[in-house]
């Protein structure tokens, strides 16, 4: 089942169960999918496109949580956190830190990187390896691990 179908099915289930937070989260995702499909750039929205949309929506929620923490709005923090958890359900399984470190080490050896100046080369090598694994990883975590591996 494609992610578009899954989003539509989840939306119907959320409507039936009258779960407003889940419904709002999935509607936001579906609206972004519709925007992309109607933009003319894509005839058919693929799973990779949806994953990018989900990551963007999660990032927006994270940024909102930071702002709400500064304003001491715990009620809104809970809503955003709940929505973030719902959106994460649409992401592929995440690589563990140990799995990421193995991939990064392989990329460093393959690219013969020796210093932090080679970080761009390592990142270009790491990303396809992660994609091959069939899983996903947080880009910030990847960057942090690559930096720590390259700094003596």
pLDDT of residue 62: 93
Chain-centre distance for alpha carbon 92: 9
- Among the candidates 46, 69, 88, a domain finishes at 88
pLDDT of residue 17: 94
Domain with 7 in it: 3-88
Other C-beta atoms closer than 10 Å to the C-beta of 59 total 13
pLDDT of residue 42: 66
Residues 74 and 115 reside in one and the same domain: no
β-sheet bridge partners, residue 136: 94
Per residue in 70-104, pLDDT (tens digit) is 999 999 999 999 999 999 999 888 888 888 999 98
Residues 23 and 76 reside in one and the same domain: yes
Q: What CATH number does the domain containing 17 carry?
A: 1.10.1510.10
pLDDT of residue 43: 66
Q: What CATH number does the domain containing 113 carry?
A: 1.10.10.410
- Among the candidates 34, 56, 88, a domain finishes at 88
Residues 61 and 104 reside in one and the same domain: no
> Which residue stretches of the chain have pLDDT < 70?
41-43
d(CA 127, CA 7): 26
Residues 84 and 142 reside in one and the same domain: no
pTM of the predicted model as reported, rounded to 2 decimal places: 0.76
Residues 35 and 63 reside in one and the same domain: yes
Residues 22 and 76 reside in one and the same domain: yes
d(CA 23, CA 16): 10
């Amino acid at each position: 089942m494609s992610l578009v179908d899954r989003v539509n099915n989840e939306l119907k289930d959320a409507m039936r169960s009258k779960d407003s937070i889940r419904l709002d989260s999935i509607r936001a995702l579906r609206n972004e999918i519709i925007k992309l499909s109607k933009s003319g750039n894509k005839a058919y929205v693929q799973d990779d496109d949806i994953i990018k949309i989900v990551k963007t929506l999660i990032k927006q929620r994270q940024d909102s949580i930071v702002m709400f923490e500064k304003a001491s709005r715990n009620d809104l923090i809970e809503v955003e956190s709940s929505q973030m958890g719902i959106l994460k359900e649409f992401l592929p399984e995440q690589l563990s830190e140990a799995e990421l470190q193995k991939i990064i080490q392989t990329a460093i050896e393959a690219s013969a990187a020796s210093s932090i100046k080679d970080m761009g080369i390592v990142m270009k090598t790491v990303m396809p390896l992660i994609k091959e694994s069939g899983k996903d990883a947080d880009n910030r975590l990847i960057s942090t691990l690559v930096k720590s591996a390259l700094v003596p």
